[in-house]
Amino acid sequence: MKKLIAQGAEAKLFLEDGKILKNRFRKTYRIREIDYKLRGFRTRREAKILQKLKAINFPAPKVIKTDEKENLIIEKINGKLVKDSLDKNYSKICSEIGRKVAILHNNTIIHGDLTTSNMILSKEIYFIDFGLSFFSEKAEDRAVDLHLLKEGLESKHYKIWEECFKCAIGAYKKEARRSHETLKRLEAVEKRGRYRAKKGS
């Protein structure tokens, strides 16, 4: 039995046999060849990053299977989206988020879409949705990642976002290598425009 649980701009998420199937569906407004390449690229990218995360014991879903084209089957993480559970304990949760983003960055992984819809609160916080992730050692890329986290908090949690971001950055600083350079770069990034990648495009 296959049950649709979420549909975003580029993928449909199904619950099937207790596992999550992420299907990147065809975008008819894209040129066919480009669409095919992009979906394959993001599917393989997400699988590759998730495998790397497993190797370093980072809380993210395990890859079960992929066709390396449009389907990715991953472990289901039980819990609530951080988006729906941030109202209570937000300083503790946001500190954990900051610490975990630092671990990603220490391993040269940029998430690319750090929002509270891409985090699940289970026994600990799990990160999901690595389709826009990439490897980088640039302070600029880490700074943009943090900036997107801030924008996401600002738009989805507008009453508490400042406190949330402060806690996240405080914990990030403690855990991250090269945090001085990254946070300095963040100041420059803030002075420029918006950065959110458009998944649908």
Which does residue 13 bind out of Mg ion, ligand ADP, none, counting CB within 5 to 8 angstroms by kind?
ligand ADP
The answer to whether residues 185 and 140 touch, using CB atoms and an 8 Å cutoff, is: yes
Q: Positive or negative CA dihedral for 38, 40, 42, 44?
A: negative
Which does residue 6 bind out of Mg ion, ligand ADP, none, counting CB within 5 to 8 angstroms by kind?
ligand ADP
Closest by CA to 199, choosing from 4, 3, 60, 7, is 7
Does residue 76 belong to the site contacting ligand ADP (CB under 6 A)?
yes
With respect to ligand ADP, which residue has the nearer C-beta, 74 or 153? Answer: 74
With respect to Mg ion, which residue has the nearer C-beta, 99 or 111? Answer: 111
17 is catalytic: no
Which residue among 36, 40, 48, 81 contacts ligand ADP (CB under 6 A)? 81
With respect to ligand ADP, which residue has the nearer C-beta, 127 or 185? Answer: 127
Burial 40-78 (b: 16+ CB within 10 A, else e): eebbbbbbbbbebbeeeebbbbebeebeeebbbbbbbbe
**Site size for Mg ion, by CB under 5 A?**
2
Collapsed DSSP state (helix, strand, coil) of residue 13: strand
Query: Which residues between 118 and 137 bind ligand ADP (CB under 6 A)?
Result: 118, 120, 128-129, 131
**What tokens appear for 156 in the block?**
């989805």
Measured CA to CA in angstroms, residue 95 lies from 102, 173, 197 at distances of: 11, 10, 25
Query: Which residues between 4 and 23 bind ligand ADP (CB under 6 A)?
Result: 5-6, 8, 10-11, 13, 20, 22
The Cβ of residue 150 has, within 10 Å, a number of other Cβ atoms equal to 19
Does residue 112 belong to the site contacting ligand ADP (CB under 6 A)?
no
Q: For residue 65, what is the enclosing H or E element? A: strand 63-66
**Minimum Å distance from CB 179 to ligand ADP?**
27
With respect to ligand ADP, which residue has the nearer C-beta, 41 or 184? Answer: 41
Residue type, 194: R
Q: Which of 67, 84, 113, 145 is catalytic?
A: 113
Residue positions annotated with a catalytic role: 113
Binding stretches for ligand ADP (CB under 6 A): 5-6, 8, 10-11, 13, 20, 22, 61, 74-77, 81, 117-118, 120, 128-129, 131, 199
